[in-house]
Amino acid sequence: MTEDTHEGASPPEPGATARPDGGAEPADEPTADVTLDPWGSASVGDYADLFAEFGIEAFDDVADDVTDPHYLMRRGVIFGHREYDAVAEAMANGEPFAALSGFMPTGDPHIGHKLVFDELIWHQQQGGDVFGLIADLEAHSARGMSWSEIDDHARDYLLSLLALGFDAEDGELYRQSDNREVQDLAFELGSKANFSEFEAIYGFDGETNISHMQSVVTQTADILYPQLVDEPKPTVIPVGPDQDPHVRLTRDLAVRMRYFKVTEAFASFELDDDERGLVRAAYDALAADADDPDAADVRCVRAAEWLADYEPPAEPASLAAAKPTALEKLRAGGKEPLRPRVRFLDRNATDEAFEALIEAVEGEKRVFDEHVDAFDLTREEAEALAREVELDHDGFGFRQPSSIYHRFISGLTGGKMSSSIPASHISLLDAPEDGYDKVKAATTGGRSTAEEQRELGGEADECPVYELYAYLLAGDDDELTKTVYSECVNGERLCGGCKEQAAELMSEFLADHQEKRAEAEAVLEDLDIDLDSDRRGTGGEH
């Protein structure tokens, strides 16, 4: 969830095709296994792998639901999401939503971090409650940073975020170590996690220090923190794909913390999601032929007979695998009526909360020791009711957080962007002339000779300098990115002139940014955030 200066980068993936605006589409087929390490080298060889292996959805699937999308969305730099449709819907309807991301202060903020800064600021401009945090506990425990180093870097991150347009009066900035609400929430979330889970997700072992593990739970609390402010609301976490393990863990913990689990059911027995889909198909088919399906015309034994002859669709494959267990449960149900209902399962509810839920369910219902079946509520109504009862009885009522994922920007020298290789990245603290020189010295996707470039065209999809236009230098001007891309691939643009234009734009950006950072000093001084820590300690190791 936190972006740090060890963030790696990768060039556009093999098999990519050009977007109309000069961005790149992911290749259609996964090509290799992907390991996502939040503290390692954040390189992704083929972003399409993330869709298959981790369930990240293509952002294009939800892009049309976003009003006035940010240019990073339009150009495919933001390529994936988890349930961003909930945020997009709230945004379109003027309903509450939030955005949060964090920054591990281990070095200077650079142009890779600017992607996240811009995403936070854009969501704030769309009316969201926006939170930016300094992950100082993580920097100390996972990177071994001293508190004085953390203080210095934290200041630089905050100044750049403010200089780029973050409204500190309308949003919230904080340090993990100073936010007691986050730390208290982390303690509660920790009761729902265990070491074997950390071992599976992060590869932790007997050598991993406890503070590092604690910092992970703190990050899950950070992600859920916006929902402690006012009310639970759709919340998006903008990150690079290397941070997805934190998002997945937090989504699981948000569910485990809930008082009630709301599912659809058809009889007294429980079904998993795939089994439920098969039983739904059986019920719909039989109910369509019944004179009055509510008069117990549809029974489990008849549904089992129908399902025995039913051929599930090939996708998802898990449907076919679920058929034997669904049949077994239906046959065991015998002549029990099969009837759709919404089920409230007691997960963590107090006795008082469970009784309150029973009282709140209107219409026909059946009450059992550990669940309540409601026959006159929709799934959406049931979810809202469960959250309302939970909040009324000191629960959190968390929604699962959403997330969006951006591509990594390539290093200027090719390959990964690394803080340990100054020429590979541009710091937001670089002097304008240094930024100019780095761009002029950058690797390109050009051909060996000018003649070959004019004949074959350049390879913009493999060019770090073109990425600078698409990710940063063109700003909101899509026409500039289209022009640069088109002229490059058609052989009309040579690398020397292209780098000169990019270098001048970079110099102008840095000069403007340094000026605005100086102006932001006064704003930062007025914020209630301590940048002179009195903590002691040597930190951990990763």
Instruction: Kindly tell me if the per-residue pLDDT of 542 is higher than 50.
Output: no
- What pLDDT score does 382 carry? 98
List, for residues 267-284, the tens digit of each pLDDT value: 999 999 999 999 999 999
Kindly write down the DSSP assignment for every residue of 373-421, as one continuous string: EESS--HHHHHHHHHHHHHHTT---PPPPEEEEEPPPPPTTSS---TTS
Two structure tokens written together for 183: 């730390």
- What pLDDT score does 533 carry? 83
Two structure tokens written together for 510: 């840095």
Which is nearest to 54 in space by CA: 246, 285, 325?
Answer: 246
- What pLDDT score does 296 carry? 57
Is cis: bond before 316, omega within 30 of 0? yes
Least confident of 113-122, 165-174, 455-464, 508-517: 455-464
- What pLDDT score does 46 carry? 60
Instruction: Kindly tell me if the per-residue pLDDT of 74 is higher than 70.
Output: yes
Instruction: Kindly tell me if the per-residue pLDDT of 424 is higher than 90.
Output: no
- What pLDDT score does 470 carry? 95
| Mean pLDDT (whole number) for 85-95 | 97
Phi and psi torsions of 222, nearest 5°: -55, -45
Instruction: Kindly tell me if the per-residue pLDDT of 367 is higher than 60.
Output: yes
Average pLDDT, the chain: 89
| Mean pLDDT (whole number) for 325-351 | 96
pLDDT band at 518 (very low <50, low <70, confident <90, very high): very high
Which is nearest to 506 in space by CA: 457, 464, 447?
Answer: 464
Query: Where is pLDDT greater, at 56 or 345?
Result: 345
Instruction: Kindly tell me if the per-residue pLDDT of 39 is higher than 50.
Output: no
Two structure tokens written together for 412: 């200027």
The answer to whether 71 and 476 have CB atoms below 8 angstroms apart is yes
- What pLDDT score does 500 carry? 97
The dihedral built from the CA positions of residue 143, 148, 151 and 157, taken in this order, carries a sign that is: negative
End-to-end CA distance of the chain: 17
pLDDT band at 420 (very low <50, low <70, confident <90, very high): low
Kindly write down the DSSP assignment for every residue of 63-124, as one continuous string: HTTSSS--HHHHTTSEEEEESHHHHHHHHHTT---EEEEEE--SS--BHHHHHHHHHHHHHH
List, in sequence order, the alpha helices (H) in 257-360: 273-289, 300-308, 317-333, 351-360
Least confident of 150-164, 244-258, 294-308, 424-438: 294-308
Identify residue 67 by its one-letter amino acid code. T
Least confident of 18-22, 243-247, 325-329, 467-471: 18-22
Hey, what domains does the chain have and what are their CATH numbers? Answer: 2-257+400-406 (3.40.50.620), 261-392 (no CATH), 422-514 (1.10.240.10)
Instruction: Kindly tell me if the per-residue pLDDT of 304 is higher than 70.
Output: yes
Instruction: Kindly tell me if the per-residue pLDDT of 453 is higher than 70.
Output: yes
List, for residues 191-232, the tens digit of each pLDDT value: 999 999 999 988 888 888 899 889 999 999 999 999 999 999
The bridge status of strand 235-239 relative to strand 260-265 is unpaired
Residue where the block lists tokens 């603290």 = 429
Least confident of 60-74, 110-124, 293-307, 371-385: 293-307
Coil/strand/helix, residue 207: coil
